[in-house]
């Protein structure tokens, strides 16, 4: 692997980052699971994982005219950290062409192994300055609305547990789109830490999670993302959506089926 020394220490060379992004994009287009990336293109650090993710986003945007309209944050709850065996949040991007509103009917065969996650979602009304402090109260004034959301995830790997966290981050940390509910503008009247929600899968109710399960406070996840993007000099923009993390464990659809996410105060 060719490496250069940067602010974070040893980092991947730009060409290797680009080639890694090309491999990931090709596997998505062909709907083929990845077993591993070639050693020269495999990120060794979290920082390089995000560098590949940004290169992947540029490739997708340049070839299709798609744009990134949303972010997902994974592993923000204990249930998901235990499920994935990862003890820290991880972020990904969501393309506008993979965002749906209210309901969506998708073709199961278009995915390697699709799954769903029940989430609280924030929509921003203003750009969040890079200098904002990292607490829920600091990011709250920048939120226009909260809503319920389903993150569509995809296990695109032969064995995701052997891929390594940097590679999972490079590939948008499982994201394959989202379904967004009705925006709740008076969200500040809600006790968002006490919100409880989960899924009805094929007519059967599943377990519930609670807002406080997300890093102690749902908006702590948004504050984390502000700081994460600031590392690379990027800013969360007005109109963006941020999925704050799954309240319950991922449900994987081995065969076609139906999922309804429900948080009573936010709808379904």
- Phi and psi, residue 92, nearest 5°: -145, 175
pLDDT < 50 stretches in the chain? 1-8
Q: Is the distance from CB of 136 to CB of 217 less than 8 angstroms?
A: yes
The pTM assigned to this predicted structure is: 0.92
Q: Which pLDDT value is given to residue 3?
A: 37
Neighbour tally for 264: CB within 10 Å:
10
> CA-CA distance, 96 to 231, in Å (whole number)?
24
What pLDDT sits at residue 62?
Answer: 75
The angle at the Cα of 91, spanning 63 to 124, to the nearest 5 degrees, equals 85
Alpha carbons 265 and 121: distance in angstroms, whole number: 13
pLDDT digits (tens, 9 = 90+) for 156-188: 999 999 999 999 999 999 999 999 999 999 999
How many angstroms from the chain centroid is the CA of residue 141?
Answer: 22
Q: Let me know: does 146 contact 69? Beta carbons within 8 Å.
A: no
d(CA 87, CA 134): 19
How many other C-beta atoms can be found within 10 angstroms of the C-beta atom of residue 191? 9
Q: What are phi and psi of 2, to 5 degrees?
A: -85, 130
**Percent helix, percent strand, percent coil in the chain, to nearest 5:** 35, 30, 35
Q: Which of 137, 130, 128, 169 is nearest to 46 (CA)?
A: 169
DSSP state of 34: B
Q: With left for phi above 0 and alpha for psi between -120 and 50, is residue 240 left, alpha or beta?
A: beta
CB 151 within 8 A of CB 33: no
Share above pLDDT 90 across residues of the chain, in percent, rounded to a whole number: 85
- Beta carbons of 70 and 49 less than 8 angstroms apart: no
Tens-place pLDDT, residues 13-33: 999 999 999 999 999 999 999
Which residues are bridge partners to 5 per DSSP? 10
- pLDDT, residue 146, reads 98
pLDDT reported for residue 68: 67
* pLDDT value at residue 11: 73
Find, among 24, 152, 34, the residue nearest to 94 by Cα. Answer: 152
């Amino acid at each position: 692997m060719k490496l250069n020394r940067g602010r974070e220490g040893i980092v991947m060379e730009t060409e290797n980052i680009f080639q890694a992004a090309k491999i990931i994009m090709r596997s998505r287009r062909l709907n083929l699971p990845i077993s591993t990336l070639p050693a020269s293109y495999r990120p060794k650090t979290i920082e390089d994982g995000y560098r590949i993710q940004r290169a992947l986003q540029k490739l997708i945007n340049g070839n299709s005219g798609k744009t990134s309209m949303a972010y997902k944050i994974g592993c923000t709850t204990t249930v998901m950290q235990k499920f994935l065996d990862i003890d820290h949040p991880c972020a990904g991007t969501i393309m506008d062409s993979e965002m749906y509103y209210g309901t969506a009917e998708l073709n199961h065969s278009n995915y390697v192994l699709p799954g769903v996650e029940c989430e609280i979602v924030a929509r921003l009304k203003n750009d969040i300055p890079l200098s904002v402090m990292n607490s829920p109260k600091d990011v709250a004034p920048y939120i226009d609305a909260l809503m319920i959301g389903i993150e569509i995830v995809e296990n695109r790997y032969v064995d995701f547990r052997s891929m390594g966290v940097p590679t999972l981050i490079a590939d948008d940390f499982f994201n394959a789109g989202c379904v967004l509910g009705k925006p709740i503008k008076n969200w500040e009247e809600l006790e968002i830490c006490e919100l409880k929600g989960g899924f009805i899968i094929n007519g059967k109710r599943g377990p519930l999670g609670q807002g406080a399960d997300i890093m102690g406070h749902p908006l702590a996840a948004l504050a984390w993302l502000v700081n994460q993007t600031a590392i690379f000099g990027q800013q969360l923009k007005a109109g963006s959506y941020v999925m704050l993390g799954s309240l319950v464990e991922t449900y994987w659809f081995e065969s076609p089926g139906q999922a309804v996410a429900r948080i009573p105060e936010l709808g379904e």
